[in-house]
Amino acid sequence: MTRFVHPATGDITLAGVLGALSDPMRLKILRKLLARRDRSVSCSGAAPCAQMAKSTLSYHFRVLREAGLIRTTKQGVENLNSVRWDDVNKRFPGLLQAIMKFQP
C-alpha cells in the first residue's frame, strides 16, 4: 500500500513552496486544484495536459505534496488530491489567494 508523506504545518517552508511552484506545470496543477477547493481531484483530473506521462504527473504531485501544498489520499485505485488550504494559509496568509489571482 502506498503511504504518502505530508509535512507537518510547521515544516512547510516558503522556499519549499516557491520551489515547487517554480515549474509552470506544477503551478497549473495547483491552480486547477485551487479552482476546486471544496473537493478532492484525481491526478488525471488535475493534469495540466492530457498527454503528460503518468510518471511525470506522479513526480509533479510528489513535489507539491512534499512542499506541503497538497494532501493526497487513496480512495480505491485512485489518488485524490486537495489543497492544504488551512495549513498553507496559516503559514503564509494570502499566498494561495495571490496564486489564484495570478495571470501568467
Mind listing the domains of the chain with CATH numbers?
Answer: 11-99 (1.10.10.10)
User: What's the chain's average pLDDT?
Assistant: 90
pTM: 0.90
Going by pLDDT thresholds of 50, 70 and 90, the confidence category of residue 54 is confident
Give the per-residue SS3 of 21-89.
Answer: CCCHHHHHHHHHHHHCCCCCEECCCCCCCCCCCHHHHHHHHHHHHHCCCEEEEEECCEEEEEECHHHHH
Q: Would you say 58 and 95 are in contact if contact means Cβ atoms under 8 Å apart?
A: no
Using a pLDDT cut of 70, give the percent of the chain over it. Answer: 96
DSSP, res 72: E
All three cell numbers of 17: 513552496
| Cα–Cα distance measured from residue 35 to residue 98, given in angstroms and rounded to the nearest whole number | 13
Would the pLDDT of 102 be above 80? Answer: no
**57 pLDDT band (50/70/90 cuts)?**
very high
pLDDT at 1 over 70: no
